[in-house]
Structure 1
Amino acid sequence: MELTGKAVVVTGGTRGVGAGIAKAFLAAGADVVVCARRPPDTPVEHAGRTAEFRPLDLRDPGAVRAFFAAVAADIGRLDTLVNNAGGTPYRLLEESEAERHARVVELNLTAPLTASLAARPHLRRARGSVVMIGSVSGTRPSPGTAAYGAAKAGLESLARSMAVEWAPEVRVNTLVLGMVATELSALHYGDGEGLARVGATVPLGRLAEPGEVGAAAVFLASASASYISGASLLVHGGGESPAFLAAATVNQGAPADRPPNKPEGDGR
């Protein structure tokens, strides 16, 4: 998955998952530009290579178009856009006005669309790709972050439609993320023992690392994925064990050769 000579933009690439993605592309040899409203506290770098930072408010369509035109002109090409910028505070629906929920949708759905449209002419010339950063919140109920979940569901649908409309010049795929360990994990999941308990709910026994998300993004941008478009790649450590399995007691003493909660004679 060698990307030397390729140019990549990672939105929200200054910290957390975005920084992990940017570092993975640097490791693969790509020239990386990260953007956010504010510069990072420390440069995003890996193995002696540093991502270039450029400020950008993704909610300003005119600024977004100017940003991608400048990046393509300065570097000479644009091969991959990773739409990573996003997020939400925990907020029950009835605890806030519709306008605040709408801003969450704007950041997590409208902004990636704005960036993708601005990047498309440059990606088309390079026969490049778009990688959307989705979430399992878009595939299951998301209490407390309902607007975010709805936006991520829309993002995955948008990516599939873009993959059809923009083929064959531009490939579009989505990484559907579960829980990821970042510098802000404690705000969402607790720290210490609490974080360990949360990680234990994942079949693989832990949260993902940002670099693991980055490796998946590099794969989707590489020649190894040249026939993959319109796909959703789950990066969630096996997902979530169904709650009913822990609650059910009928087969607690089931023989080892028979799966729990599956009656004998059931051929499914």
Structure 2
Amino acid sequence: MTVTFDYAGKAVLVTGGTRGIGAGIAAAFRAAGAEVTVCARTRPESVPDRFVQADVRVPEDVDRLISGFDRLDVVVNNAGGSPPAPLEGTSPRLHARVIELNLTAPLLVSQRAYPLLAAVGGAIVMIGSASGARPSPGTAAYGAAKAGLHHLARCLAAEWAPLVRVNTVVVGLAATQDASGASPATTGDTSGASPAATRDAADHYGGRADLDGRAIPAGRMATPADVAQACLWLAAPGYVTGAEVRVDGGGEIPAWRHLVSGDIS
């Protein structure tokens, strides 16, 4: 059975929607009939029909972005990511910027968009990460920020019910055009990260794309289309709010499973 969604006449905003998971989400909403606006810090070579250049960490940019809407039905807070950033030896400013992008920015966008969403019974979808649900060594600030994002969504769902529904898609290892082997820290949602960050994500696992089948029960990484389908469902009118939907192919297979089978190298 194929599930289809009709977003005709709906206005949708996808932050960090010019590449990777964000671009996949934007494309899915367009295919469902929505009028989709995407934003990013850097103007892409191929500019979408509705693109706003904005840094969602900057309150003035967020105000300018949201003020351009007369109606807003759905916000997908997708912009996020982090380069590998071990706590020791990494500048405090880098950690602060990671938290700003992955936690403060979605809070600012949601806060500013609330009046428009409340007027139409709209929805917010946060793009979370498995790194916010289990230890994230080497990217502690990112993992902590994503854990905070998951909690923020639950808080807003309770605070803004029943006018606005707020849910989270928790993404596991993900494959995008930026990475042949995605980092378990960045989970592929590097659309808000710097070019250096996306290069670093591609370097994880030594570029070995064969590891995904050994690490994930489903046998492959998530794709932008997988994440987009969850977003389409959570954004559609319904009862679900304050939920976390895991798009991780069953999680990550524990290392001990390979150890006892002699399968690890």
TM-score, length-scaled by structure 2: 0.85
Residue 178 of structure 2 corresponds to 184
8 Å Cα contact 1:189/1:198 also seen in 2 = no
Q: Distance in 2 between matches of 1:189 and 1:136?
A: 18
**Structure 1 residues 168-179: aligned runs within 5 Å:** 168-179=162-173
Q: 1:192–1:88: structure 2 CA closer, same or farther, 3 Å change rule?
A: closer
Residue 113 of structure 1 corresponds to 107
Say which of 247, 252, 257 aligns to 2:259.
247
The share of aligned pairs that are identical, in percent, is 52
- Worse-superposed segment, 186-195 or 167-176: 186-195
Give 1:193 deviation, angstroms: 7.1
Q: In structure 2, give the amino acid aligned to 1:222.
A: A
8 Å Cα contact 1:189/1:195 also seen in 2 = no
Is 1:130 aligned to residue 142 of structure 2? no
Q: Distance in 1 between matches of 2:100 and 2:27?
A: 27
Q: Distance in 1 between matches of 2:17 and 2:225?
A: 12
Q: Distance in 2 between matches of 1:234 and 1:151?
A: 17
Say which of 33, 36, 42 aligns to 1:32.
36
Q: In structure 1, give the amino acid aligned to 2:22.
A: G
| Greater RCO (Cα-Cα under 8 Å, separation 6 or more) | 2
Residue 234 of structure 2 corresponds to 220
Q: Distance in 1 between matches of 2:95 and 2:121?
A: 36
Is 1:211 aligned to residue 205 of structure 2? no
* Alignment RMSD: 1.7
Give 1:245 deviation, angstroms: 2.4
8 Å Cα contact 2:14/2:37 also seen in 1 = yes
Q: In structure 1, give the amino acid aligned to 2:253.
A: S
Residue 184 of structure 2 corresponds to none
Write the deviation string for residues 5-28 of structure 1: whole angstroms up to 9, x where unpaired.
000000000000000000010011
Is 1:80 aligned to residue 74 of structure 2? yes
Is 1:230 aligned to residue 242 of structure 2? yes
Structure 2, unaligned runs of 5 or more: 181-198
Consecutive aligned runs of 4 or more in structure 1 exceeding 3 Å deviation: 189-193
Q: Distance in 1 between matches of 2:36 and 2:154?
A: 25
Q: Distance in 1 between matches of 2:213 and 2:127?
A: 21
8 Å Cα contact 2:178/2:202 also seen in 1 = no
Give 1:126 deviation, angstroms: 1.0
Q: In structure 2, give the amino acid aligned to 1:204.
A: A
8 Å Cα contact 1:37/1:55 also seen in 2 = yes
**Structure 1 residues 131-150: aligned runs within 5 Å:** 131-150=125-144
Q: 1:148–1:34: structure 2 CA closer, same or farther, 3 Å change rule?
A: same
Give 1:199 deviation, angstroms: 3.7
Residue 59 of structure 1 corresponds to 57
Q: Distance in 1 between matches of 2:235 and 2:242?
A: 13
- Worse-superposed segment, 26-35 or 58-67: 58-67
Q: In structure 1, give the amino acid aligned to 2:54.
A: L
Write the deviation string for residues 184-211 of structure 1: whole angstroms up to 9, x where unpaired.
1134255997112234311111111111
Residue 262 of structure 1 corresponds to none
Residue 196 of structure 2 corresponds to none
Q: Which has the larger radius of gyration?
A: 1
Structure 1, unaligned runs of 5 or more: 45-50, 253-268
Residue 158 of structure 2 corresponds to 164
SS of 1:33's equivalent?
strand
Q: Distance in 2 between matches of 1:87 and 1:193?
A: 18
Is 1:10 aligned to residue 37 of structure 2? no
8 Å Cα contact 2:14/2:76 also seen in 1 = yes
TM-score, length-scaled by structure 1: 0.84
Is 1:91 aligned to residue 85 of structure 2? yes
Give 1:145 deviation, angstroms: 1.1
Q: Distance in 2 between matches of 1:57 and 1:151?
A: 18
Q: Distance in 1 between matches of 2:158 and 2:97?
A: 28
SS of 1:35's equivalent?
strand
